[in-house]
Amino acid sequence: MTETQGVKGGLWCLRMAFCIVYVTSMHREGNDLDKLRIGIIGAGGIAGAHAYAYQRMDDVEVIAAADVVPGRAAEFLGRYGFHQGQAFEDYRDLLQLDLDGVSICTPNVAHFQTAVDALTAGKHVLVEKPLSFTLAQATEMVRTSKQRDRMLTVGFQPRYDPNMKLVRDIVRSGVLGQVYYLQTGGGRRRGMPGGTFIRKELAGSGAIADIGCYSLDLVLDALDYPLPLTVSAFTSNHFGTNPAYHAEADRFDVEDFGVALVRLEGDIVLNFKIAWAMHMDTLGPTLFLGTDAGLRLTPSSTGPWGGIWDGGIGSITLFADQFGQHTETIVPVKEHEVDRFYEKVRDFVMAIREGRPAPIPAEQILRNQAIIDGVLQSAALGREVAIEIPEV
Ligand SMILES: NC(=O)c1ccc[n+]([C@@H]2O[C@H](COP(=O)([O-])OP(=O)(O)OC[C@H]3O[C@@H](n4cnc5c(N)ncnc54)[C@H](O)[C@@H]3O)[C@@H](O)[C@H]2O)c1
């Protein structure tokens, strides 16, 4: 081979290498622009709501699902029309794929390990609520997300309700003055789930984490999540453990009722109460008391499953003194058909696409989880406990 031939050959190799790199990057860019690649871990009830949301997005493709029950992931993918999707029994096989994001829809017990493994594998993660069993687990999950520079967010769909946003706007406008008392929670007259939700070893917590996380998010988000300091709580499970009220009473070992007094930074106290079942239609309205005005929210329904915990606000009333009189201003609630679940999943997708931070910031998730953790600890110990959120 002459020197010229050698140089020509070298140039040709270089050109080919460039072409391969260019074509590969174009392919990935094309993917980025066209379809985001999503995997779903856990193919049970709520995974269907995720799949239904992804199904309606032209720029998303669910390429895999995993479920420990043999055959369930394949059946699930078929049911939602993701016929090209790969089905796995072990979620770690799913994490080997080139995925942009993962929805974690397993029972609570599996949130921690699946999320940590998904983040470590470089995927963005949307975990169904509650984030985890404990604050320690939640902290580890957030730490992994930061270390791996991957997004971790949690499924708080009531946040996407237009009336929840309205409440946030009212509170953040400053019209209430200095807020010093919050009351939130509520619950169901009869609304106890079964299956994995009622076993401590699988769910970690009952009503407190299941629907309480939403009520906490409603008031804390409006106030930009003040730091929780202490909690004194009581829980019980008179309904769940009674065969007259629950078909799986012999397996029921989580709380179906809880009440707590939580001190927050800024001289704010939060009265939090929640029930899956009770001989009452409501545990009262959600209240914000401020030095200049008060805000009262009532649930849109007091039926067996009704309550503000799910984003259903029936009325918003602002109490103040005006013109030398006590006034009550009714703020009209918005009539809307927003699909909160779709909005939640869409926000996750858009955050990935636009490189935005997690829709629900890590600090907020940790504070929410810290209160749940504190309520359970305080109730178990029968005394007030301090809340300490580790650095991440
Ligand atoms: N945001 C909401 O409105 C909402 C509503 C219901 C449930 N949830 C939450 O969603 C989660 C799941 O609840 P669900 O009602 O769908 O439960 P489910 O029991 O119907 O489904 C869970 C699925 O996960 C599978 N699974 C369990 N461990 C697994 C693992 N390690 N890897 C892969 N798959 C695994 C199970 O086989 C099952 O198919 C819970 O955390 C729950 O709190 C949220």
**Domains identified in the chain and CATH numbers:** 13-156 (3.40.50.720), 158-347+355-386 (3.30.360.10)
Sheet bearing 293-299, strands edge to edge: 325-331, 313-322, 293-299, 286-290, 179-187, 268-275, 257-264, 228-236, 385-386
The rounded radius of gyration (Å) of the Cα atoms in the chain is: 24
* Spatial CA neighbour of 136 closest among 377, 353, 319: 377
Contact 382, 235 (CB under 8 A): no
C-beta 155 within 6 A of ligand 1: yes
Rounded to the nearest 10 degrees, how much is the dihedral formed by the CA atoms of 115, 119, 121, 122?
150
In single-letter form, the type of residue at position 192 comes to M
Run means of pLDDT, 10 residues per run, the chain, 392 residues: 42 42 38 80 98 97 98 98 97 98 97 98 97 96 98 96 96 98 92 95 96 95 98 98 98 98 98 95 93 96 74 94 98 95 98 97 96 98 97 92
Q: Give the pLDDT of residue 122.
A: 98
Kindly give the distance from the C-alpha atom of residue 111 to the centroid of ligand 1, in angstroms, as a whole number: 9
Cα(260)–Cα(239) distance, integer angstroms: 19
Q: Are strands 257-264 and 268-275 parallel, antiparallel or unpaired?
A: antiparallel
CB of residue 64 inside a 6 A radius of ligand 1 = no
In this structure, what DSSP letter does residue 190 have? B
Residues contacting 361, CB < 8 A, separation 6+: none
Nearest-atom index, ligand 1, CA of 73: 39
C-beta 345 within 6 A of ligand 1? no
Integer Cα distance of 206 and 211 in angstroms: 8
The torsion defined by the Cα of 260, 265, 269 and 272, in degrees rounded to 10, comes to: -30
The residue contributing the CA closest to ligand 1 atom 39 is 44
Tokens of 320: 């103040």
328, β-bridge pairs = 319
Q: Does residue 195's CB lie within 6 angstroms of at least one atom of ligand 1?
A: yes
Q: Rounded to the nearest 10 degrees, how much is the dihedral formed by the CA atoms of 118, 126, 73, 92?
A: 10
Work out which ligand 1 atom sits closest to the CA atom of 66.
Answer: 33
SS (H, E, C) 56-94: CCCCEEEEEEECCCCCHHHHHHHHCCCCCCEEECCHHHH
Cα angle, residue 97 at apex, residues 95 and 100 outer, rounded to 5°: 85
67 CB near ligand 1 (under 6 Å): yes
Q: How far apart are CA 185 and CA 205, in angstroms?
A: 16
For ligand 1, atom 25, name the residue with the nearest CA: 42
Cα-Cα-Cα-Cα torsion 319, 320, 325, 331, nearest 10 degrees, comes to: -50
Is 44 near ligand 1, meaning CB less than 6 Å away? yes
The CA-to-CA distance between both ends of the chain, in Å, stands at 61
Q: At a CB cut-off of 8 Å and minimum separation 6, what does 139 contact?
A: 366, 389, 390, 392
Q: Ligand 1 centroid to 90 CA: how many Å?
A: 15
Rounded Cα gap, residues 324 and 180, in angstroms: 23
Q: How far apart are CA 43 and CA 128, in angstroms?
A: 12
> Ligand 1 atom closest to Cα of 111?
41
Q: Is the CB of 247 under 6 A from ligand 1?
A: no
> Which atom of ligand 1 sits closest to the CA of residue 110?
31
Binding site membership of 91 for ligand 1 (Cβ less than 6 Å): yes
* pTM of structure: 0.91
> Residue 383 and residue 233: Cα distance in Å, rounded?
7
CA dihedral of residues 378, 382, 384, 386 (deg, nearest 10) = -40
Instruction: 170-173: list long-range contacts, CB under 8 Å, 24+ apart.
Output: 170/295, 170/316, 170/318, 170/331, 171/222, 171/223, 171/288, 171/295, 172/222, 172/224
Distance 297 CA to ligand 1 centre (A): 31
Ligand 1 center to residue 76 CA distance, Å?
13
Locate 275 and state its tokens: 């029930």
For 219, the enclosing helix (H) or strand (E) is: helix 212-222
How far is residue 193's CA from residue 242's CA, in Å, rounded to a whole number?
A: 14
Q: How far is the CA of 32 from the centre of ligand 1 (A)?
A: 29
Residue 10 — φ and ψ, nearest 5°?
A: -60, -45
| Residue 105 CB less than 6 A away from ligand 1 | yes
Query: What pLDDT is recorded for position 181?
Result: 98
Q: Could you tell which of 67, 113, 213, 248 is best to mutate to test the pocket of ligand 1, judged by most ligand atoms within 8 Å of the CB?
A: 67
